[in-house]
A and B are shown apart, each in its own frame.
Chain A
């Protein structure tokens, strides 16, 4: 078990990041921090993919480099996923700007109460 943890520690980090991200999204009252949590959560998954593609002692997936290469496909996938993540963050921040303009606060619980008073 210890051995597994020592050699596969990046998976451990992955799930640590997932946990931290999820906790931030749930536990934090600040909307911006929630969005940061979302980003950390996604980063955890990105790392998961990249770690899966990693091969001990392999070179980067470039034609000029020597074989064996690490698997290039997950890199490509994650590149796309990062783009998606960035646009999501942009939209989220845009919404947050609007919420702040409207309510003057970013505290989720206060906003929730305001909503219920409407």
Chain B
């Protein structure tokens, strides 16, 4: 089933995957399992985007999940294996709850086709207990996949410990397409009438979203590792998307899609930028970003632009999405959400500003410079190619590194960022700003789809 919404997702998946691929070509991991899982992931995501059947959605959700678990662990470090297992356990619970919800829907209606479900559920009645239970399980299951607070616990560690290319790919796509699936199931299968008949359901969606925005941002402020910070930022940003989806409003829904796409582009390339920074300088924590602009002007610049876009400085993509969502919230008169959405700018600023300040307005710490200089090759092996074990320093370890999987040992200098890696980051940074001006045309293209989605 292809409409404007799923078409958007397919294009997004294809483009982001291509961008990450061109980055991963140089940055690794260069193993066969990585490319196999990468292809499987893209297949699963595309499947999730196009399917019109609830059970197929479940299968594709699990395929995506499987590929994502493998990808997270693809750098052969102990840390990422733990993160991947955690991700696997929680992700499976999410998918299983989703399956349970499907079960309820099937018992209630006898069908699993989304279009058919819409009519059948209307016949069964929107307030039937079975239908309500189905909705609850499906939504909670997908919340886990999207990583809405407090069901996000798998996400920061998975993003932070995965190789940079993988973090970018997963952060850009997996939660995004899951959020799309949430919108698709809620609006195509359950329809807007369900939300109208069960105002509590819509309210709870909105409340969860609001909590996610605030809590995600606050947690992001508390992080010292850059990639963890970016991960928590995703928790907050998806709160914004779900908030928009809970409003049953055309403008807000367009905003949700715009923000989904915008977040995917921006967050994906923020992770790539973090990867570039780590590759070139070894900096991975917030304090190591001190004076980054002197060491890596282009990387710091791109990171700064993307961070500002994420904050929602107009006229970037981040702002336009927020404008649509906020306008939709105003139109439907949910003032609490308006306040949270508008204030989310400040919350986002809180964690990005300190990073920007450190990058541009601090002199690099001398200790760090020494460390990077002296321990360059060791640092490199750990940071770039992920060939060495984080656990290697623990002494508990036997051996986990597999030299065949990547170029961990051909990394003599600290300056291995290729032109291609820069190009991806810079191009998306420019896109994040420039696309803001093109959103309206896209919104016009999307409007018929959204109208159909909201009026069953």
Contact = CB atoms under 8 A, between A and B. Distances in A.
B399 interface: yes
Interface in B46-82: 55, 58-59, 62-63, 65-66, 69-70, 73, 76-79, 81-82
B391 interface: yes
Nearest to B54: A77
Interface of A: 18, 22, 25, 31, 34-35, 38, 41-42, 45, 48-49, 52, 73-74, 77, 80-81, 84, 87-88, 91-92, 95-96, 98-99, 101-105, 111, 114-115, 117-118
17 contacts: A25-B89, A25-B93, A38-B89, A45-B99, A48-B103, A52-B106, A73-B106, A88-B62, A88-B65, A88-B92, A91-B88, A98-B73, A99-B81, A99-B85, A102-B78, A103-B391, A114-B394
Contacts of B380: none
Given A45-B99, A45-B103, 4 more contacts: A80-B55, A81-B99, A88-B62, A114-B394
Contact of A95 (B55, B73, B390, B398): B73
Contacts of A103: 78, 391, 394, 396-397
Contacts of B285: none
Contacts of B77: 102
Contact of A114 (B58, B63, B106, B396): B396
B66 A98 contact: no
Contacts of A84: 59, 62-63, 66
A115 B96 CA distance: 28
B78 A92 contact: no
Contact of A111 (B66, B82, B84, B107): B82
Interface in B423-455: none
B400 to A, nearest CB: 4
B100 interface: yes
Interface of B: 55, 58-59, 62-63, 65-66, 69-70, 73, 76-79, 81-82, 84-85, 88-89, 92-93, 96, 99-100, 103, 106-107, 112, 389-391, 393-394, 396-400
Given A41-B96, A42-B96, A102 B400 contact: yes
A76 B112 CA distance: 13
B89 A114 contact: no
Given A25-B89, A48-B103, A99-B85, A105 B396 contact: yes
A92 B400 contact: no
Contacts of A105: 396
B398 A45 contact: no
Contacts, number: 101
Contacts of A99: 78, 81-82, 85
B63 to A, nearest CB: 8
Contacts of B63: 84
A18 to B, nearest CB: 8
Given A74-B106, A91-B66, A104 B397 contact: yes
Contacts of B100: 18, 45, 48
Contacts of B396: 102-105, 114
A49 B78 contact: no
A85 B66 CA distance: 10
A75 B397 CA distance: 45
B92 A42 contact: yes
A12 to B, nearest CB: 15
Please name the 9 residue pairs, one residue from A and one from B, whose CB atoms are nearest each other, closest first. A102-B78, A102-B400, A84-B62, A95-B85, A98-B81, A102-B391, A104-B396, A99-B81, A52-B107
Contacts of B84: 95
Nearest to A22: B93
A31 B82 CA distance: 10
A55 B107 CA distance: 13
B446 to A, nearest CB: 33
B397 A91 contact: no
B88 A92 contact: yes
B397 A102 contact: yes
A95 B81 contact: yes
Nearest to B58: A81
A32 to B, nearest CB: 11
Contacts of B85: 31, 92, 95-96, 99
The CB with the most chain B CB atoms within 10 A, among A25, A42, A81, is that of A81
A85 to B, nearest CB: 8
B398 A101 contact: yes
A115 B82 contact: yes
Contacts of A42: 92, 96
A60 B54 CA distance: 25
A20 to B, nearest CB: 14
Contacts of B89: 25, 34-35, 38, 92
A98 B78 contact: yes
A35 B69 CA distance: 14
B389 A102 contact: yes
A24 to B, nearest CB: 11
A11 B400 CA distance: 44
